[in-house]
Every structure is written in structure tokens, then in C-alpha cells.
A and B are shown apart, each in its own frame.
Chain A
Amino acid sequence: MRPEVLIIDDEWAVSRAISARLEASGFEVRTAVNGLDGLAAIEASRPDAVLLDLRMPDIDGLEVLRRLRADDRNAGLPVIMLTANVQDSLRGEALALGARGFFGKPFDHHALVAALRRATTPTADWEGVAS
């Protein structure tokens, strides 16, 4: 069965580009256009991994991550962060909240696909996922 990835990003064009790349690499992809939408999508059906944009208008990536972590059912859900600026000051906070990796835009799609493969393989070793 193809592993399912949820992309939460308010930029539709970014979501489309990543979707195209991930579908070509053997992932099932769903998208959400903001934080609340994303949380609802996870509630409705738990994906195998989440790609989460750090800066979004309504509730930002950190808040989404915080709410996810508050729910025990999502404790093991792998979340990889996306950001426009790799030197983002929120980076440290996101990693502290248990983000599994961090990708700046424009990102290295080979590395992103590799990270997601590791994240969605049950026996995966989480070390070295950060870009």
C-alpha cells in the first residue's frame, strides 16, 4: 500500500509542486490549505506523515504541531517542517516540539523524498533526517 502524506501549506502552488513530486515517487498525497484544515484532515483520517509549513496565516505551523502533540493518538505521527527561510528563528522551537526534519524553500527534492520514505517505513531510523 502506498504511504499517505498530508501537505499543510497555504501556498497552493507549493502544495501542487510537492504533490506532483511525491506522487511520482510512490506516495499517496492529500493537501490542506491552512492549519485548522490540516488538523481536521488528520482528525478525519490519520496520514503516515505530515509536511507542515511553518508560517501560515490563521494558526502557524508551530501551533498545529503543539495541538498535534497534545493529542496522544498522534504521538508517533512524523512531521517534517517546511519554511521559506532555513535560518528561521522558530526552527529551534519546532525541533523542540518534535519535528522530524526541516526543509527550506527551494528544497532539495531528493532529500525530501528520502526523508519521507524513512519517515513512513515502520522500522525507520530517525537519525539524520534534518536537511
Chain B
Amino acid sequence: MQAPLHPHEFERLAAVEETGLLDEPVDRIQQAAVALASRIFDVPISAVSLVAEHRQWFSAVKGLDCRETPREQAFCAHAILTDRPMIVEDARNDSRFRDNPLVTADPGIRFYAGVPLLTADRLPLGSLCVIDRRPRSPSPGQLEALSTLASLVVSQLDMLRLNHRLKAETARHRETLERERGIAAALPGAIVELRVSEARNVVTITHASPMLRRLLGGDSDPEGADLLQLVDARDRRRLLAALGEPRDGHARRSIEFRSAEQDQGGERWFELDAIGRRGRDGTLWHTFIAETTERRRTAREAARLAAIVDHCDEAILSTDLAGRLTSWNPAAERIFDLPASEAIGRSAECVVPQERIGEFRGALERVASGRGSTRIETTRLAANGERRTVLSALSPLRDESGAVIGFSEILSDVTRRRQVETQLAESLRVVDDVSHEFRTPLAVISEFSSIIADGIAGPVTESQRSYLSIVGAAVSDLNQMVEDLLDSSRLRAGSLRVERRPVGVESLFESMRGALAAKAKLRSITLHESIDEGLPQVFCDAGKARRVLSNLMTNAVKFSPDGGEVEITARLAEGGGEVVVGVRDHGPGLGEEDIGRLFGRFEQLSTAHRSTAKGFGLGLSIARELAWLNLGGLTVDSRKGEGACFSFTLPVADRRAVLEHAAATIHALGAESDPLAVVAVHVSEPDRESDDLLLSWLCSCSFATDLVLPADCCDGSGRGAVLVGRSRAPQAWIDRLRRVHAERRAEDPEGVPGARFEVDSIWPPGTPPSEWLAAMRSKEVFHEA
């Protein structure tokens, strides 16, 4: 018959398990008890049997070869159901065991006496039992002895269980500690316990995770040290105040401070988060200290970027992948007349006109598919219905993994600029047409007067010939004025082509002598020429230099009395950086007031000279602008009644001199108001021919730039060019250059060589030329060959 389960079977099994004896070698103490029991009863078999779930386990046994038997056969399974000893004198007469295989077969049990092993918490783990193969009747003394032995075994079992629980507890504890230490080590800061006793102005570190040393340094174990000593002296008072006694017993504080130890990169910042409660000897703070140097730097950088985005003139916006606006800066609000509050969340297409939707979506697709960014000039529609011409730069926005998550677009509003350009182009075209209309009749007048003067139409008297030559000269002056008008309009449109090269001073004069002499002869003026010997080459557009000289000569002849003298001089200026060409007349001269007004466009001299000087304000004004284009200047030195000397300068073809002149010229042209961009242009295939082609092309698109200089400026050995331009939006300017270059090159690959445009520097407005120049030099903008 099988024994029923114990009423607390689950707890009982756990307790058996806790002994740690199952499936272990025989327990030596219990084995001694078993041996003693055998002797006391004089039986062959005895055991400590632990009743497990499906078996009984002999943690000590004598007289049997096995260590376990099935639970259903176990006498002990019955023994544990009572708290008194179980005695079976003859198993054959006991209905519970009569059919038990241990009775009917080997080992043939007849006698059994077992004392339940009842733990302190009243759980029977098994029994201490004695067994014989013949029936027995134990004496009360024997049974008492067995009970005593059993109580000893129970004590041992209780101890084993306690021991087991302790070990498990310790292991769990250790595991928790390890885990907490691991977490502390992985935290981006230190866990620190601080005790503040205000009386002593000390913040004692009572406990700290190892991270604290890594963060704040310190020589030894920080525990027991004063945190204030690790803090920058400037922040100690503040920190101490923050860790002051909480008013209502507990408090939460947060404060930033700098460490006493500095990094090579400078100050290091930390944040301390603390929860404190008042104790008997001061306040105990549980704190978390983390470094914030990087976060502060990032925040500062973000603030800086935000300020740029807020204050720049370009509209800057961003969208998500679906094209919905996620940001919209103040410039965008202005340009598109749409407040950010209304724009954000709407589709970016709300400012794209119907006919540009396709183009816009195409650009988004190109950018989204990872084919870089696009730059186009296009049209956008403001909320008030105005159309804006914009340069758009569309780029992908990516997350940390590099996946495209949206788009950013920078838009420069070039509406006004394009309008002005269109107007200028229009006015230039008109002036071109008008000058063309002028030239034909002028050619007819000039030709017929010379035909008559040459006697082709019949004999001519001397005075007729003389008058006809005056007609010829007047026509030539008129031609010059048409030329000036054209130049003036081209200067305004920025389309006057300037090609600066190293030129010999003598060669500037050579081709002009005939024309100059003819001008002088007309009024019987004696022309003196004095060109210093050994003058260095100058760096200029020779055509422009000749025009300046010609205009000054025309001016000098106009103001000279008949039979007077005009001197032309060329000499090296003091310092040797430039050549000065002067034209001196002995006319009425100019007062200070006249000089001030002299160079105004179309401005004429005062009434005193009106009869003779009509119309020549333009010539001088043009001469001055042409002199500037040649990186030089035009000045006049005159006093009333003492004649006038007009001089213009040309930089010597020497790198340093050219640079200085370039800087001064650009400054004079108004660099105070706009940033200057210096762009290095590299030819793709560096050889003389493509170099020349590139320079020539760059000069022809002077709409885009104030200065085009060969990379070496003078000796022709370098390759490429340097562009200097004033622009309110330098980046847009450079982008436009690149775009125009690419377009023109696509149209005319022979005429426009491949080139790379690289921004060397963008120079802030208001920088004096000397500083600008120093920076240009230090940047090696002008590369050696």
C-alpha cells in the first residue's frame, strides 16, 4: 500500500532539497549515527532516509547496497506521516507492507523501526530507521536511544539547511552588488554620497563609484576627501551654497561646476544632481555627477548655428521625407510673406508655382536617391502672390545611420538682382544700338571731309584744308565720346572686359604717338615726352591704359592755349610699386572745388570753362574708372592759374605690388559694406593655352567678379587664376560662377577650359586692405608655379 502525501508536501520537498544531501556521497556524521543505531538494535540494516518526490534517498546507509528505492516501496514514506516512531515488528502481519517487494523479496524485511526526522519548522524530511530480516520487538530503551540519535541527525539537517540558505543569500547578495557595480560603471557619471557639515564648510565624500576619479581626478581614494578641493576655486562657494541644509528636511538640487583640473582643451564642466536629507551630523546627499563639457559645447554651437540661421538673408527650410515643412527661418518668412507658424506642417510645395512643381519633385527625387544635392535658379511663389527668383540649393538630411530622413533647402532671393541685371543688360543694349547709329554718320562726315581735304573733289585752299582737319578732329573727339559712353554703360553693367597682363611701358606709348601728336598739332601745341629709362613692366589691360592716356591727352589739349605745351611723363613712383604716367598742361588750372566735382559722372566743369570744356566730365570720369580697373588710381594736381597735371598709376608687374593695389582698389570700390570672397580657380589641364583661355573667359564674364588675376599675377609661369569679388552672399556668388562656368563649358568645350573653383577665403566687410592683404598672403592665395 502506498503512503499518502504529507499535508505540507511542497514545503517538505523544498526542505529536503535544502539539505544539499540528495545525490551526494554518504554524509559522515549521519553514517556514524546509522552505525550506532545498528549496534543499539543489533540489526544488519540501518539508514537515514530522506523522502524525496519519487524516491527515498539514503544519505547514510548500512547493510544495503543501494542508495535509493522507489518512494511507493518506502517504509519511511509512512513513517513521516506521524511525529512518533513507527514500529513494524513483523511486516508480513502488517497490511501496509505485506505485499511490499522489499518484504516478499530481497532484502526480505520483517522488522522496521523508524523515527521521523522532524525539522525545527515541523517538516518531516525522512526517518532514521533500523531494519532486520527477522521479526523483532524493540525494548523501550532501544527506541529512546534511536529517538535521541534522530534528534541529533535533525540538528545536523537543520544546520545544513541554514548553511544552504545562507550561501544562497550570499550568492544573491553578491550578484546584486556585481550588477549594481556594473550599472555604476556603465553610467555616464559618478554616483557619490556626500556629507555636508556646514559648520566646517566641507563637502565630505562618504562613498563614490570609481567613475568619480576618472571625472574629477584626485590622487588617491576619494572617499573621505573634500569634494570642494576637486572643484574649480571659482565655483566652490556656489556649490557649497547649493548643498546647504534643506529647509523642510529633504531637497533636490542641481548645479553645474568646473573641475579644478583642466583639460588640454580648457575648462571642463560638470553637473551635480543631488537628493539630500538632513541627518544628525549635517546633510547627506545622494548625488550623480556627470560631465557636461561636450553638451555645453554642442549647445553653444547649436545656438551659434541657430543665430546664423535666424539672421542670414537666405531662406533656410527643412522638410520631412513627405515634403512637409519642419523648419522655416525668419528670412523665409520675409521672402515668402508667410509666418513660420503657418508654414510649418504644410507641404513645401506651398511656395512652388504650378509650372515648377515637376521640377521641384524631380529635384527631391534626385536628392532622395542619394545623388547628392542640386543647385538651380528657379521661381518661387510668395504667399502674397509675388514671384521670387531664387537660387535653390537642395540637400538631403540624414540620420546617424546615413538614411535620408528629409531635405534642407537654402534659397537666396535674387529677384532684385536679376531685375537690375536685366535692366542693365537692356540699357547696355540701347547704348550699343545708339552708338552704332552714331558711328555711321560720323564715318560719313569723317570720310567726306578727308576726301575733300585730299583734293579728290577738286582743288583745296590752305585754310579750307585747315578747317577740314578741325572737322576731322571734332569727329574723332565725338567718336571718343561715343566710346566713353559705351564704356561707362559697360562699367555700370559690370560687363566691361578687362584683361590684365604684364606689359612694357614703352609699348603702351608706341602705338599712340601718332594719335597724340595729331591731337597736339591741331592747336600747334608742342608735345614733350619724357619716359624714364629702365622702367619695369606694368600689370594692366593695355587697351584700357591707352584709353586713359588718350582721354587725359584730349583733356590737356582742350585746356591748353594755342601754341602751348603739354608734357607726358612716365616714372617709377616712390617705393617702386607702381609707375606714374602724368599729363601736364599749362591751361587755367583747377581750384579745390573744381577738383572735388571733377570726376562725377557726366559732371562738367564750372561756367568759367564751359565754352571750352563742354562734355569732358565723362571722359575724365571714365579715365578714373579705367585706371581703377587697372588696379591703379587717377589723381590731379593743380592750382588755379597754374595748369594741371593729371596722373594715373599702373602697378608694377610684381606679385606684391599687384596685391597691394588690388587690396587698395577693392577697398576704394566699397569693400566696407560687402564681404569679399577670394576664389582660386584651377585649370583642369594645366598648360599655357588652356590657362590663357581660362583667363580670357573669366575676364569676359566680369559680371561676376571684381578682379581676375592670373594665379602668379605677373610672370606668366603659374596656372589658373584668382578671383576677388564683393558679394553680399559670397557662397551664392561662387555657386553662380560654378554654374555659369558649367553651362558655358557645355556650350563651348573648346573655348571654356575645365576648371575647379575653390573658395580660398571669405573676408568680412570693413577689413582694412593691409589686413586683407596679410591674410591673402598667409593663405598663399597666389600660388607659386
Q: Point out residues on A near B: beta carbons under 8 Å.
A: 11, 13-14, 17-18, 20-21, 24, 55, 84-85, 105-107, 109
Contact = CB atoms under 8 A, between A and B. Distances in A.
Contact of A106 (B435, B442, B457): B442
B479 A84 contact: no
Contact of B456 (A20, A55, A85): A20
B436 A55 contact: yes
Given A106-B475, A106-B479, A17 B447 contact: yes
B442 A105 contact: yes
Contacts of B450: 109
User: Residue among A18, A106, A107 with the most chain B CB within 10 A?
Assistant: A106
B451 A105 contact: no
What are the 8 tightest A-B residue pairs by CB atom distance, in nearest-first order? A105-B443, A17-B447, A106-B443, A24-B456, A84-B439, A106-B446, A13-B444, A84-B436
30 contacts: A11-B440, A13-B444, A14-B440, A14-B444, A17-B447, A17-B448, A17-B451, A20-B448, A20-B451, A20-B457, A21-B447, A21-B451, A24-B456, A84-B436, A84-B439, A84-B440, A84-B443, A85-B432, A85-B436, A85-B439, A105-B439, A105-B440, A106-B442, A106-B443, A106-B446, A106-B447, A107-B443, A107-B447, A109-B447, A109-B450
Contacts of A11: 440, 444
B431 to A, nearest CB: 12
B441 interface: yes
A106 B436 CA distance: 11
B113 to A, nearest CB: 132
A56 B97 CA distance: 140
Contacts of B441: 13
B293 to A, nearest CB: 63
A21 B456 contact: yes
Contact of A17 (B432, B444, B454): B444
Nearest to B476: A106
Contacts of B479: 106
Interface string B411-452: 000000000000000000000100110011111101110110
A82 to B, nearest CB: 9
A8 to B, nearest CB: 15
Contact of B435 (A17, A18, A20, A85): A85
Nearest to A86: B439
Contacts of B456: 20-21, 24
Interface in B148-187: none
A19 B668 CA distance: 52
A106 B438 CA distance: 10
A13 B450 CA distance: 14
A11 B456 CA distance: 21
Contacts of A17: 443-444, 447-448, 451
Interface in B440-477: 440-444, 446-448, 450-451, 454, 456-457, 475
A85 B448 CA distance: 20
A21 B436 CA distance: 23
B443 A14 contact: yes
Contacts of A21: 447, 451, 456
A109 B448 CA distance: 11
Contacts of B442: 105-106
Contacts of B436: 55, 84-85
Nearest to B497: A87
A84 B486 CA distance: 13
B490 to A, nearest CB: 10
Contacts of A85: 432, 435-436, 439
B785 to A, nearest CB: 31
A55 B439 CA distance: 13
A26 B439 CA distance: 27
Nearest to A13: B444
A13 B444 CA distance: 6
Contacts of B435: 84-85
Nearest to A20: B451
B428 to A, nearest CB: 13
A109 B450 CA distance: 9
Contacts of A55: 436
A17 B450 CA distance: 10
Given A106-B446, A106-B447, 17 more contacts: A11-B440, A11-B444, A13-B440, A14-B440, A17-B447, A20-B457, A21-B447, A21-B456, A84-B435, A85-B432, A85-B435, A105-B439, A105-B440, A105-B443, A106-B479, A107-B443, A109-B447
A93 B432 CA distance: 19
B454 to A, nearest CB: 8
A39 B106 CA distance: 143
Contacts of A105: 439-440, 442-443
A125 to B, nearest CB: 23
A56 to B, nearest CB: 12
A13 B435 CA distance: 18
User: Residue among A18, A84, A107 with the most chain B CB within 10 A?
Assistant: A84
Nearest to A12: B444
B601 to A, nearest CB: 22
Interface string B317-358: 000000000000000000000000000000000000000000
Nearest to B456: A24
Nearest to B437: A84
A37 to B, nearest CB: 18
Contacts of A109: 447, 450
Nearest to B450: A109
Interface string B231-260: 000000000000000000000000000000
A20 B444 CA distance: 12
Nearest to B445: A106
Contact of B451 (A13, A14, A24, A84): A24
Contacts of A106: 439, 442-443, 446-447, 475, 479
Contacts of A107: 443, 447
Nearest to A103: B443
Nearest to B436: A84
Contacts of A84: 435-436, 439-440, 443
Contacts of A14: 440, 443-444, 447
A10 to B, nearest CB: 10
B263 to A, nearest CB: 64
A82 B418 CA distance: 35
A13 B448 CA distance: 9
A24 B440 CA distance: 22
User: Residue among A11, A18, A20 with the most chain B CB within 10 A?
Assistant: A20
A20 B479 CA distance: 23
A106 B479 CA distance: 9
Nearest to B448: A17
Interface in B25-39: none
User: Residue among B442, B444, B475, B479 with the most chain A CB within 10 A?
Assistant: B444
Interface in B250-276: none
Nearest to A17: B447
User: Residue among B447, B450, B451, B456 with the most chain A CB within 10 A?
Assistant: B447
A17 B443 CA distance: 9
A109 B444 CA distance: 12
A106 B448 CA distance: 11
Contacts of B444: 11, 13-14, 17
B493 to A, nearest CB: 15
A107 B479 CA distance: 12
Contacts of A18: 447
A106 B450 CA distance: 11
Contacts of A20: 448, 451, 456-457
A85 B755 CA distance: 32
A107 B446 CA distance: 9
